[in-house]
Amino acid sequence: MNVTTLCLDIGSGTQDVLLHFPDREPENCPKFVLPSPALQVGRRIAALTSRKQPIWLHGFNMGGGVTRFVRAHLKAGLPVSTQTSAAYTMGDDLGRVEAMGITLSETCPEGFTPVLFADFDRQWWERFFAAAELDWPDRITACVQDHGFHPGTSNRIGRFKLWEQLLGEGLGQPESLLFKKAPKTMTRLVDLQHCIDGGPVADTGAAAVLGALFVDEIEKQSRTQGITLVNVGNSHTVAFLLFNGQIFGVYEHHTGLLDSQRLWHDLEAFRDGRITHQAVFDANGHGCLTLPLPEEAQGFSPVHVIGPRRAVLEKYNASFPSPGGDMMLAGCFGLLKGIALQQESEK
């Protein structure tokens, strides 16, 4: 079936976009690197701040990077009102949102300018496709980073439950990293899925790691020996232990807290099953979880690294693949790989 797919990897600074045609080589598919929705919306707010215009936020829970523009608006002494649905962009606790000086209102107050919050603005994308003279895709899939909705508890703890569910309920299957229906606690993914008309969604770290499996040689290697897949993102570093179609371990930390030596040391201990969840959490990371590691995996020694800050490991014994010929689109190719794996498992 010749299905065109719009794939979006939505970050805090950019959104990396692939319009995939299955009958074309990946290199010949349209690709875009555009400002992130948070940055686009932030610029609109900054313009309204300069015009001293009160704003009303409405729409959906989107990337938190826009919050700094809202704070700047408040700091300038200008009113901000918001719908409840958009307010969760600023925090899980609506009391704290109100404590920032933001008022809650389901309708736009008189004299306020509406500002739409959305990780995917369909009208914007329809204008973009029309300007590029491209037909609208048959389906849309996307990924964002989602800490989840966990009022009253640490977001680090809440986010790591995503990985616990992967190894538990998901049985460690890589295709379970892509959600046909986003979990209710992943409120940003739920809203994103609504905005893209119900297409599959994933966490950005998970999508990037799936992207490494888009490389045939890496997937074939994982069938005969264990491999370690690492995504060194701008905010988070995520690693998986994969063998014969099953994930045996997950590690997640904050990239800014890791230098090259510390990260490689953690990865060596991770591959051997020696690093504990508490050790990572106490170092202000999210945590680590491993299942019993099979001897046939041979220590998960091949290490494949992707991500915008992958150079942190360039002096170590690791490979640096470029899924689909473009490392920056690893998340997009990962979304495609997740769809393909799910289709295979359903046969």
- Same domain, yes or no: 74 and 159: no
- Same domain, yes or no: 109 and 158: no
Closest residue by Cα to residue 334 from 215, 224, 184: 215
10: three-class secondary structure by DSSP: strand
- The first and second tokens of residue 272, run together, are 């051997």
CB within 8 Å of 99: residues ≥ 6 apart = none
20 falls within a domain: no
- Same domain, yes or no: 151 and 73: no
Give residue-wise pLDDT tens across range 93-123: 899 999 999 999 999 999 999 999 999 999 9
- Same domain, yes or no: 321 and 282: yes
Number of domains into which the chain is organized? 2
56 falls within a domain: yes
- Same domain, yes or no: 184 and 60: no
- pLDDT at position 149, please? 63
278 falls within a domain: yes
- Same domain, yes or no: 152 and 99: no
- The first and second tokens of residue 168, run together, are 């538990």
Order across the sheet with 113-117: list the strands: 103-104, 80-82, 55-59, 113-117
21 falls within a domain: no
Measure the CA–CA gap between 209 and 266, rounded to whole angstroms: 18
217 falls within a domain: yes
For residue 324, the domain's CATH number is 3.30.420.40
- pLDDT at position 183, please? 87
- Same domain, yes or no: 194 and 102: no
- pLDDT at position 158, please? 64
- Same domain, yes or no: 330 and 189: yes
- pLDDT at position 1, please? 66
Of how many residues is the chain composed? 347
Domain boundary, last residue among 77, 101, 117: 117
Domain boundary, last residue among 79, 100, 117: 117
Domain boundary, last residue among 117, 137, 162: 117
3 falls within a domain: no
5 falls within a domain: no
- Same domain, yes or no: 102 and 153: no
Measure the CA–CA gap between 328 and 321, rounded to whole angstroms: 11
- pLDDT at position 166, please? 66
28 falls within a domain: no
- Residue 72 domain boundaries: 37-117
Q: Strands 113-117 and 55-59, how do they pair?
A: parallel
- Same domain, yes or no: 265 and 199: yes
For residue 66, the domain's CATH number is 3.40.50
Closest residue by Cα to residue 151 from 92, 90, 88: 92
Phi, psi of 115 (to 5 degrees): -130, 120
Q: Which residue has the tokens 């295979």?
A: 344
Stretches where the chain sits below pLDDT 70 are 1, 147-159, 162, 166, 170-171
- Same domain, yes or no: 45 and 170: no
- Same domain, yes or no: 111 and 164: no
